[in-house]
Structure 1
């Protein structure tokens, strides 16, 4: 199999550690310990030590721990120190590739040196992060000579390929993650040739996997973890059985990532790409042995007609949209279009069966076509109660998606497979002591729970303002009012402001009203808006120019760390309830109600509390940070559930009027000057 893991050691129960782990952890965090000796700014944190000891207990007992640790607790060191001192093989999974890099390149080497432990480390990402040497050689033949930007990017990659040892594209500074060249020079599970690849010995993906299987501690990400778990039935040997402890940081993202990867999908863009490859490879490697042009044209036509059927009466789609499965499945034309996809690609399979022997590219092409046929057949059949189906539409494609409602079954199965420690941690896992928002969806009700509050002095350093007389979120003037208020705040603070929106639709209206307000007030505050540039470039511009405001949607609500006075005001446009018409949300509501639960409290308010805590968490990032959080939604103050949402936030001092809030910002601006 192309995606098979190299063989690795099994996780046999290790001998009892020579040193008591809890005592070793206490010594490490003591004021006269190795961490203090390595860092002149080291501070003892009671919450950090409580979390570290709980992790140590889970490692020694091979048990499960769910731990919510407030901002500033130092949770990264709190779980890494026990892992490094335990002498046991471990896996750490993070939410993003950038957090992976931070752990592997900065935190782990520092800790390993400070603790003086002989631990080997490895970083493992998905194959789309690594250069594929075979596809790099093919890219020059397929890229359009008219696309000078793509040619320039390809030339940079070709030059870098001569010197890189690991092949991780993150090494290549300035490469836009949205570049169309990246899919041309990386592999997917569909087009990877595995051991048949002429560059297999030099394969960066396989080298990264070999390093991972030989290391004591491996850093992965949630996407890779669940992708690997989802491929078990295809014979993929897993990394997980070889470790004694698995830690998931930013665990609040696990359920969403898990349902995404543990489901099934059939995308029209994927089918169009397959039709293009059928034509290109058929004519290159099996010319004259089938009418490749006719076969590819039939596949391409079936894919495009499926998208037309999915769009249906909407005619055009300009923004991402989710449709309930029943909205399309009840029309015969939609299911017929899926059937036609199956028939067109089945004809391609029949043609490839006779010519693919000895041709690795054609063998993989046949497997991809067979998978397309299987997915088409699956989506024509009725769904099951424990899964939900929907149609994702965008301007470019339609995707048929089926996903489980949660990750309970799969995590329970993995936990029962072998005794090992399981640690799940984040700053936001629930708004009650049992952390039910996370534990129920993950099947972890039986795990030990720990909540460690932030050590920051929020009452002294932070203010919360909920405008008392403000348009309601469904009022036509709400978005403009948010922009105007953001302009007044940014003007008082002279920039250094985030505006977080719950939808992309509201973002442009808010940004324009913000510009208008700033223009009326005078000054030269710059307005940056998500989509103008890649996320990393926008953040660099924001940090380089203190007199700026950044308006962003979901991708800016978390994973952004701006300590100090570079960011001192965060506005949230409205309470971040999940969209009620989202098919996955609807299915979860039905299940809660069928079990006699209260869907509004258990799902909508609980979800909003988590998202609100994440957005508010952008404001105060260190002991000395100060700032203002504005929630532009009067329901926060007027509705009964508002008390629950306010209680979920850190204990900020309440500003009772806009003037009081602006006075606080003027005070911060004077201190900054």
Structure 2
């Protein structure tokens, strides 16, 4: 049945203009069908262009079983739900129900919006934020879903979003006066009744970890679980199977106590003082934790006198809040919910203060205004395996980057999987003619002094000759800053830099300009799809080994050593290989794409482990001569111009 869907005379060929059967796509669809039928585990690395989305959607829809599809991000989730899924449903004549379900922080909370509108009329509100609130209130009367992503007047990073959405901590549940209008409840009800639900990894794993009311009832009913971009799951699972406490949680608790005082309990002035003390305690701890953008060892820093002192003050503030709120229980639903959160945060801080319990990594992270304190289990394999055994059903994992040198053990061991089948499907792209890979001669050593300046001198002529159209992917924010500064001094081409505008805006501007260099890190290594000659060169500054100071990496190294393994070959190299494969995957996105890949790290050719990286990459012809890259890019342009002239003549 499935092989017929993907054949030359099948449903897809009739529905999609220009559809051509691809054996790898058919092979994957048949493997997914077998896994669903046998309720088994399947791991598939599907190279870019394989068509993996259709390959898992078709057998899932035809199976008649309740299915959950989890994707790597909200953007991919929406693309799958609004573009790929409707096409496949129409193609197969599927008449069942489907639903899109996001985390509660994506949905407007009518009750919290009402509180914010009342609060904003105290004469002290920021006029810009007040304008946004008014626009959201107007939109709230029209929306059917309450999904803030559909509110065009609201920026995705607007500071009002946390104040008009709920969290597990501050949701009033069935006690909420606006419960009947609750968009989260409506979305979850729709998901409960659907045959196929599209979620994202963060939501799925949060649910596994805490069995949140509503969504927690949904998962046991599913019989098929499909994870796209599955390479992200082990790290996300680590976050959710641990515990964390953030200054944002404390600030939001303080704000809700303040709102309860101003709107319902004006006779209890101590509530206002409690809210201020909580807020100040969180801010003071943030200050003593040091520089923003830093991840550090919580076990070590928590013993420093300054941090220990602020920890005691925060614990005292939470204890005072607990005692004061307790006196007013039953007088305000908002305050009753705040009491439960105070109890929870108080217990969490006590757990975080005891760093002697083995089997966990203890770490903290700072942004400009906030901090988070975290406990992460050294391994999630046991917990994830337990969940699979509890749920039973078919568990299918796919991504373009799961294997290291055709070996899946790194991925499977991290999640405790025992797949009945695991295999790699080759990409349909002709890398032999579509691309060239260069590790230039005379490269400076990684991490050497003045590395960015040397790379600018070496690569600026090539980028200029190519008229921009280049991604420079970096392994650190510092390298992004140094390179962008150097390139801006060097030439007149537009240099776009991650962090100077939103990711979506940056990408749109890169495509619109047509001659830009984009210098970026983390977020641009994966999930970016620029087709055609708008992007014909990808440069990577060095092999993407995670910083040895990263506390999560340290935890996994410790776990590997405890089991008698070799952390460098079993943890650090596989992680770096998978990240490099993601970065390389930005270059060729289509059968008509051509481009050059330049990796500025001698270790690829000078160290024995370099061969592991090279064997894990697509079969791209290699050179060490930048002049050959230059010739390749010029030849692409010449053939592109010839094709353009032919089209003009016709």
**Interval containing the TM-score (normalised by the shorter chain):** over 0.9
Shift of 1:156: 2.8
CA distance in structure 1 between the aligned counterparts of 2:622 and 2:208, rounded to whole angstroms: 46
Aligned residue number for residue 417 of structure 1 = 390
Tell me, yes or no, if the aligned pair for 1:499 and 1:570 is still in contact at 8 Å.
yes
Contact 2:119 2:259 in 1 (8 A): no
Q: Secondary structure at the match of 1:237?
A: helix
Q: Supply the distance in 2 between the matched residues of 1:383 and 1:440 (Cα, whole angstroms).
A: 27
Is residue 2:253 matched to residue 1:274? Answer: yes
Which residue is equivalent to 1:587? 555
Q: Deviations over 1:202-222 (max 9, x none)?
A: 111111101000000000000
Q: Does 1:634 align with 2:613?
A: no
- Give the secondary structure class of the aligned counterpart of 1:422: strand
Asked if the contact 2:208–2:387 (Cα under 8 Å) also holds between the matched residues in 1, the reply is no
Alignment partner, residue 408 of structure 1: 381
SS where residue 438 of structure 1 aligns?
Answer: helix
Distance 2:158 2:280 in 1: 27
> Does the 8 Å CA contact 1:483/1:509 hold for their aligned counterparts?
no
1:528 to 474, 496, 507: 496
Counting only pairs closer than 5 Å after superposition, residues 119-268 of structure 1 correspond to structure 2 as 119-143=96-120, 147-173=126-152, 175-232=154-211, 237-268=216-247
TM-score by length of 1: 0.91
Q: Return the alpha-carbon distance in structure 2 between the equivalents of residues 447 and 152 of structure 1.
A: 56
CA contact 1:480–1:510 (8 Å) conserved in 2: yes
| Offset at residue 435 of structure 1 (A) | 0.6
Q: Distance in 1 between matches of 2:618 and 2:294?
A: 34
Paired with 1:399 and 1:126, the residues of 2 have a C-alpha distance of 20
* Stretch moving more, 188-197 or 563-572: 188-197
- What is the rounded CA distance, in whole Å, between the counterparts of 1:71 and 1:262 in structure 2? 31
The range that moved more, 268-277 or 201-210, is 268-277
- Name the residue aligned to 1:334: 307
- Whether contact under 8 Å (2:49, 2:427) holds in the other structure is yes
* Contact 2:40–2:419, Cα closer than 8 Å, also in 1: no
Task: Give the equivalent residue in structure 2 for 1:5.
Answer: none
608 and 591 in structure 1: CA distance in 2 versus 1, 3 angstrom threshold: same
**Whole-Å separation in 2 of the counterparts to 1:233 and 1:491:** 53
Pick closer, same or farther for the CA change 1:613–1:533 going to 2, 3 Å: same
The 3-state SS of whatever aligns with 1:110 is helix
Query: CA distance change for structure 1 residues 563 and 214 in 2, over 3 Å: closer, same or farther?
Result: same
- Partner of residue 568 from structure 1, selected from 524, 533, 536: 536
Structure 1 residue 471 displacement after superposition: 1.1
Matches within 5 A, 1:150-549: 150-173=129-152, 175-232=154-211, 237-289=216-268, 291-311=270-290, 317=291, 319-519=292-492, 525-549=493-517
Q: CA deviation at 1:299?
A: 2.3
Quick check: 1:492–1:669 contact (8 Å CA) kept in 2? no
CA apart distance, 1:383: 4.1
Deviations 1:456-496 (A, max 9, x none): 10011100011111111211221223334443232121121
Per-residue CA deviation, residues 112-141 of structure 1 (Å, 9 max, x unaligned), is 111112221100000111111122222223
Whether the 8 Å contact between 1:68 and 1:425 is mirrored in structure 2 is yes
Q: Deviations over 1:174-211 (max 9, x none)?
A: 63211112112211122222112222111111111010
CA contact (8 A) 1:84 1:117 kept: yes
Paired residue total: 639
Contact 1:90–1:218 (8 Å) recurs in 2: yes
1:649 aligns to what?
Answer: 617
Q: Does 1:613 align with 2:581?
A: yes
Contact 2:41-2:418 within 8 A present in 1 as well: no
Going from structure 1 to structure 2, the CA distance change for 1:632 and 1:646 (only over 3 Å counts) comes to: same
Residue 644 (structure 2) aligns with: none
CA deviation profile, 1:377-418 (whole Å, cap 9, x unmatched): 111223432211112123212221111223212221111114
**Contact kept? 2:132, 2:153, Cα under 8 Å:** no
How far apart, CA to CA, are the structure 1 residues paired with 2:400 and 2:69?
A: 17
Comparing 338-347 and 32-41, the one that deviates more: 338-347
Task: Tell me the equivalent position of 1:556.
Answer: 524
Question: Which blocks of at least 5 consecutive residues in structure 2 are unaligned?
Answer: 642-650
Contact in 2 for aligned 1:306/1:337 (Cα 8 Å)? yes
> CA offsets per residue over residues 218-250 of structure 1, 9 Å max, x none?
000000011111213889733210111000000
Q: For structure 1, which segment, 41-50 or 153-162, has the greater mean C-alpha deviation from structure 2 after superposition?
A: 153-162
Would you say the 8 A contact 1:339–1:377 is kept in 2? no
C-alpha separation between the residues in 2 aligned to 1:276 and 1:156?
Answer: 22
C-alpha distance in 2 between matches for 1:619 and 1:170: 29
Q: Which residue of 1 aligns with 2:53?
A: 76
Partner-residue secondary structure (3-state), 1:623 = coil
Q: Deviation of residue 304 (structure 1)?
A: 3.1
Question: Which position in structure 1 is the counterpart of 2:87?
Answer: 110
> What SS does the aligned partner of 2:27 have?
helix
Corresponding position of 1:11: none
Structure 1: how far apart are the matches of 2:350 and 2:299?
A: 17
- TM-score by structure 2 length? 0.95
Q: Which range is displaced more, 62-71 or 436-445?
A: 436-445
Which stretch of structure 1 is more off in the superposition, 129-138 or 229-238? 229-238
Q: Distance in 1 between matches of 2:581 and 2:522?
A: 13
Give the CA RMSD over aligned residues: 1.9
Q: Does 1:56 align with 2:33?
A: yes
Give the stretch that moved more between structures: 133-142 or 77-86.
Answer: 133-142
Could you tell me how far apart the structure 2 residues matched to 1:501 and 1:652 are?
A: 21
1:383·1:389 contact (CA, 8 Å) conserved in 2? no
Question: Contact conserved, 1:576 with 1:611, CA < 8 A, in 2?
Answer: yes
